[in-house]
Chain A
Amino acid sequence: MSAPQTTPEELPMLQLVAPDGTAVGDVDVGLSGDQLRELLRLMIFCRRLDRECTALQRQGELTVYPAFEGQEAAQIGSAFALGAADFVFPSFRELAVAVARGVDTVEYLQYHRGTWHGGPYDPIANRFAPICVPVATQIVHAVGWAMGAKLDGTGACSIAYFGDGSASEGDFHEAANMASVFGAPVILFCQNNGWAISVPLAQQTAAPIAKRAEGYGMPGVRVDGNDVLAVYAVTKAAVDRAHAGEGPTLIEAITYRVGAHSTADDASRYRKEDEVTPWRERDPVERHQRFLESRDVIDETFVKETEEAAVTWVSEVRGALTELAVPPVSEIFDHVFANPSATFERERRDFEAGSGA
């Protein structure tokens, strides 16, 4: 299987910080020292959480878990650029975005524990839609929400996260087209991590995803997804455009799925470890850490203290998660209708009486 596509000249990939942590572009993206440290803190916390979730699955505490290791910068850098009123439409791998946006981690992980679909957190209060597995369907939701926000004149925008595989679905096309036609304030954020389960990018699409933007009449941007500052910068620009009523943007963040598709997948069946190795050298967390160290934004103790705090936080999450109770069966009826009919209530009574009819 071939490696993911290299960057074509006509669509440059924005990079501000090289893998070794040195600045190669204008790194003044408008963030304070505290914010730069917060970005690193979030990435360290999320990496620790991600690895713990895989362990929890191996211990039978989660049913299936899709790890995001390697994609921390793409998720956290973009989430960091959103306004408080902006609304996130995730796929199923955006745990780091959820953490960055303040969604309760245990409530999010209930999806993977199998105690409730989509996570029981309040989507509207959290500005974070339920986890979405049918790929690309959430992009259309994001467009609809953005159309609604535009009608209300709130100035808020939505962001849809999806992968390179999702970009092949019809819903991507319909969403992108509608976004442009209606001038919806939405960001289409593609994390191109090189793989759709076992299908590599070269078998998924014949042209750079960001290039499609032109066909839809919206700007398209390619960015190094492992460069958290570059991701932040391009997302912030797209957010500002959307807030200003200038419509949608397509962002393609080039990153890499270091792990398997999920805990139910064995990547060794379709890719070799030596293909993964170069990407470990482009690790997003180490890159930002080196950058901050080189600029004296952090000292030696910062990482150590942050990692310890991460361990504490993650063990709290583990504790809360492993104590989650299974909801009562009656809940499968409770939430279906706002206005349940007499027939529905009769079915519920029959079911609870054990007749199963």
Chain B
Amino acid sequence: MVAALNTALRDALAGDPRTLVFGEDVGELGGVFRVTEGLQAEFGRQRVFNTPIAEAGIAGICVGLALAGWRPVAEMQFDGFSYPALDQVISHVAKYRERTRGRVEMPIVIRIPSFGGIRGKEHHGESPETYYVHTAGLKVVVPSTPLDAYALLSNAIADPDPVIVLEPKSRYWSKEDGELSTVGAGIGEARVVRDGDACAIVSYGAMVHRCLEAATQLAGEGIECRVLDLRSLTPLDLDAMGEAVRATGRAVVVHEAPKTLGMGAEIAARMMETAFDHLEAPVVRVAGPDVPYPPASLEQHYLPSVERICAAVRSAVTY
């Protein structure tokens, strides 16, 4: 996935001379996860540069640069360190176009290595997606595979609106065969990664992989699941979600973030609103508990496990 993201950035820098890439350690080092490796050497220090440690500053200069006609692609080094920038993102990045009645666009991308599963230290395994999804004026995407990472990041950079790209760092080193393309992974387009008619499992990011494992296990029990990778948290692909419920009658939502007011709450509500008559069982949420993200040694107890996902599907199917 890192290579796919790197290629997306490279293609964006090459394709549009107004694209800028910046953040902490993204220059010579190429980023702490090497996502920006080689970019400064290829495109120069003016377009790919380090910033001081100043997350609010990083987000704030995105606004100024956008006003000056540039397309900033900024990096927050970790999910847990994106919080100082929230004021600039919520008060300005998300609102500037509306405030100026469409005269000023914010073609900004903020990339944030996110989520857990890497046995990281405190603040390095956060799931901050809900804060961004709840901020009207933003778009939020989460790739789960390398090919999707290329497509979603490329489409995010091309979008005239501000997009937050949450990259599942536990999948950074995952590999996938295929051709890089931006087609078929538009912002707002979910993807059915596995079909089945017994139950829909809806997820995004690192958990998609676990959902597929669970689906394989359940298939052995005769329960064929449709796994839906949302890819876009806002805008949500309501048609795909509704279709999944109509096709199966049951839904399980899986995410790392704590249960309360996590994406599962929104997804369940939307499914109820759009496909109530087709529900044969309540929508089940498999999520992290409502506690701060635990230390590395306890992480796997917190994260939705394949067992928990399977149990949830079974409960939905036998309701």
The answer to whether B161 touches A338, judged by C-beta atoms less than 8 angstroms apart, is: yes
Residues of A within 8 Å of B236, CB to CB, are 343
Residue total for B at the interface (Cβ-Cβ under 8 A):
51
Contact of A170 among B46, B84, B99, B235 (CB under 8 A): B84
Q: Does B15 belong to the interface (CB within 8 Å)?
A: no
Q: Which residue of B lies closest to A145 (CB)?
A: B64
Q: Does B68 belong to the interface (CB within 8 Å)?
A: yes
B244 to chain A, nearest CB (A): 15
The answer to whether A343 touches B54, judged by C-beta atoms less than 8 angstroms apart, is: no
Max chain A Cβ within 10 angstroms of own Cβ: one of B52, B54, B69: B54
Contact of B64 among A141, A334, A357 (CB under 8 A): A141
* Interface 1/0 per residue, A159-194 and B, CB below 8 Å: 000000000001100110110010000000000000
Q: Does B81 belong to the interface (CB within 8 Å)?
A: no
Q: Does B213 belong to the interface (CB within 8 Å)?
A: no
Q: Does A225 belong to the interface (CB within 8 Å)?
A: no
Which residues of chain A (88-119) have a CB below 8 Å from chain B? 89, 116-118
Q: Does A144 belong to the interface (CB within 8 Å)?
A: yes
Residues of B within 8 Å of A122, CB to CB, are 100, 103
Known: A145-B65, A148-B70. A343 touches B88 (CB 8 A): no
The answer to whether A148 touches B69, judged by C-beta atoms less than 8 angstroms apart, is: yes
B111 to chain A, nearest CB (A): 17
Q: Does A124 belong to the interface (CB within 8 Å)?
A: yes
Q: Does A130 belong to the interface (CB within 8 Å)?
A: yes
Q: Does A341 belong to the interface (CB within 8 Å)?
A: yes
Q: Which residue of B lies closest to A170 (CB)?
A: B56
Residues of B within 8 Å of A140, CB to CB, are 56-57, 59-61, 63-64, 88
Max chain B Cβ within 10 angstroms of own Cβ: one of A139, A141, A158, A344: A141
The answer to whether B99 touches A117, judged by C-beta atoms less than 8 angstroms apart, is: yes
Known: A116-B101, A174-B56. A151 touches B64 (CB 8 A): no
The answer to whether A174 touches B57, judged by C-beta atoms less than 8 angstroms apart, is: yes
Q: Which residue of A lies closest to B20 (CB)?
A: A151
B303 to chain A, nearest CB (A): 28
Q: Does A149 belong to the interface (CB within 8 Å)?
A: yes
Q: Does B170 belong to the interface (CB within 8 Å)?
A: no
Q: Does B237 belong to the interface (CB within 8 Å)?
A: yes
A17 and B234 CA atoms in complex are apart in Å by: 58
Total number of residue pairs linking A and B with CB closer than 8 Å: 150
The answer to whether B64 touches A335, judged by C-beta atoms less than 8 angstroms apart, is: no
The answer to whether A178 touches B61, judged by C-beta atoms less than 8 angstroms apart, is: yes
The answer to whether B68 touches A148, judged by C-beta atoms less than 8 angstroms apart, is: yes
Known: A178-B61, A339-B160, A341-B235. A148 touches B98 (CB 8 A): no
Residue total for A at the interface (Cβ-Cβ under 8 A):
48
By secondary structure, the A interface counts as helix
The answer to whether B105 touches A338, judged by C-beta atoms less than 8 angstroms apart, is: yes
A332 and B69 CA atoms in complex are apart in Å by: 25
Which residues of chain B (89-115) have a CB below 8 Å from chain A? 91-92, 95-105
Q: Does A249 belong to the interface (CB within 8 Å)?
A: no
The answer to whether A174 touches B98, judged by C-beta atoms less than 8 angstroms apart, is: no
Which residues of chain B (182-211) have a CB below 8 Å from chain A? 187-188
Known: A177-B57, A335-B97. A146 touches B87 (CB 8 A): no
Q: Which residue of A lies closest to B22 (CB)?
A: A147
Which residues of chain A (301-357) have a CB below 8 Å from chain B? 331-332, 334-339, 341-344, 346, 357
Max chain B Cβ within 10 angstroms of own Cβ: one of A120, A134, A334, A336: A336
Known: A118-B100, A341-B187. A178 touches B65 (CB 8 A): no
Residues of B within 8 Å of A181, CB to CB, are 52
Residues of A within 8 Å of B51, CB to CB, are 178
Residues of A within 8 Å of B68, CB to CB, are 144-145, 147-149, 151-152
The answer to whether B65 touches A147, judged by C-beta atoms less than 8 angstroms apart, is: yes
Residues of B within 8 Å of A342, CB to CB, are 188, 235, 239
Q: Does B238 belong to the interface (CB within 8 Å)?
A: yes
A144 and B56 CA atoms in complex are apart in Å by: 12
Q: Given contacts A140-B56, A145-B68, could you give 6 more A-B pairs where the C-beta distance is less than 8 Å? A: A130-B99, A134-B87, A141-B64, A144-B68, A171-B60, A338-B105
A residues engaging B (CB < 8 A)? 87, 89, 116-118, 120, 122-124, 129-130, 134, 137, 139-149, 151-152, 158, 170-171, 174-175, 177-178, 181, 331-332, 334-339, 341-344, 346, 357
Which 6 residue pairs are nearest across A and B when measured between Cβ atoms? A144-B64, A140-B60, A148-B68, A144-B61, A174-B57, A341-B235
What are some 23 contacts across the A-B interface (CB < 8 A)? Answer: A116-B99, A117-B95, A117-B98, A137-B91, A139-B60, A141-B63, A142-B64, A144-B66, A145-B68, A148-B65, A148-B68, A158-B64, A171-B57, A171-B87, A174-B52, A175-B57, A178-B54, A178-B57, A334-B101, A335-B100, A336-B98, A337-B97, A343-B188
